[in-house]
Amino acid sequence: MRSDPTSNSVVRAFDAAAATYDDASQVQREIARELVFRAARDIGRNPRKILDLGCGAGHVTEAASQQWPEAEIVALDAAPAMLAALQSKFPGVKVICADAADPGAIGPYDLILSSMMLHWLPDPRAALARWRSLLAPGGRLHVALPVEGSLSEWRDACRAAGRTDGLWPFPPRDFGAGLSEKTVNKDFVTLYPDARGFLQSLKRTGARKPRPGHRPESPAALRRLLAAHQGAFAATFRIAFLTIDADQTPTSDRSSLSPETGGHQ
């Protein structure tokens, strides 16, 4: 019997943020749109059945439904409140409450999309291999996830103050090697009113879970750190866009890595 995904503390954090997610997730919305744009350019046809894995409140579902209005879209997430928020906006979308790391015997799908979620799973590479098995022949898997270099501004601010940042660990930039047919890195930069606003955005989007083993700073130490970073605070999300073909044979060197630059203000 599978474990209840809502027992996971990461899932509980996102579930608690369902009511505030849309207003606090501008950069996540932009990345979702970019992911769907890249998928549409790549597949060159209209997929009949699409899976949004780790759908959250529905940024990818929204962009995909606009791009392919005739497609059947299925949205999967482990957070019930996020699924409820999605269904309130897109009542025609079928939802599945399940652990994305082990979604079970579903599909097959012509197109699978996942944005800003894979890095939260215990074994992201194993999850990618499972997701690929859900593709129909000729299907494609497109994934966007933050990699090393993301949120470096906050890490640098903590390091300069002799503090630990506690951010969830991000996979290396070449994470998709051997699994992804193509990997493109692109930076998305967003501005917050101040460093406190940046931290509040993490909480309001559910991305507040610290890395395992992290010991939080004392409230006094955090106040001193935030006081040193008043005024506009920039945060860079370094996003890897992965492309995986249902019919490709995984290798150790097939993935190609290319950088791009982008911005969000």
| SS3 annotation, the chain | CCCCHHHCHHHHHHHHCCCCHHHHCHHHHHHHHHHHHHHHHHHCCCCCEEEEECCCCCHHHHHHHHHCCCCEEEEEECCHHHHHHHHHHCCCCEEEECCCCCCCCCCCEEEEEEECCHHHCCCHHHHHHHHHCCEEEEEEEEEEEECCCCCHHHHHHHHHCCCCCCCCCCCCCCCCCCCCCEEEEEEEEEEECCHHHHHHHHHHHCCCCCCCCCCCCCHHHHHHHHHCCCCCEEEEEEEEEEEEECCCCCCCCCCCEEEECCCCC
231 in a domain, yes or no?
no
The first and second tokens of residue 210, run together, are 């610290």
Q: What is the mean pLDDT of each run of 10 residues along the chain (265 residues)?
A: 56 94 95 97 91 97 97 96 96 95 92 97 92 94 96 94 90 86 92 95 92 85 89 96 81 47 41
Q: Give the chain's domain count.
A: 1
- CA-CA distance, 76 to 95, in Å (whole number)? 6
So what's the pLDDT on residue 260?
A: 62
Cα–Cα distances in angstroms (integers) from residue 98 to residues 2, 179, 226, in the given order: 10, 24, 37
Residue 230 within a domain: no
Give a yes or no: residue 29 inside a domain.
Answer: yes
Domain membership flag for residue 97: yes
CB 252 within 8 A of CB 194: no
Instruction: Give the C-alpha separation, 37 to 54, whole Å.
Output: 18
27 within domain boundaries: yes
Confirm if 158 and 233 have CB atoms less than 8 A apart: no
Domain housing 75: 5-150+169-188+239-260
Q: CA–CA separation, 228 vs 230, rounded Å?
A: 6
CB–CB of 151/194 below 8 Å?
A: no
Q: Which two tokens stand for residue 199?
A: 């931290």
CA distance 74 to 108: 11
Question: What CATH number does the domain containing 46 carry?
Answer: 3.40.50.150
Residue at 202 is within a domain: no
pLDDT for residue 4: 44
Q: Tell me if 181 is assigned to some domain.
A: yes
Flag whether 67 is in a domain: yes
Provide the CA 265 distance to its chain's centre, in angstroms. 19
What Å distances lie between residue 121 and 18, 44, 108, 117, 262, CA to CA?
19, 30, 22, 8, 26
Residues 6+ apart with CB under 8 A from 5: 11, 78, 97, 98, 99
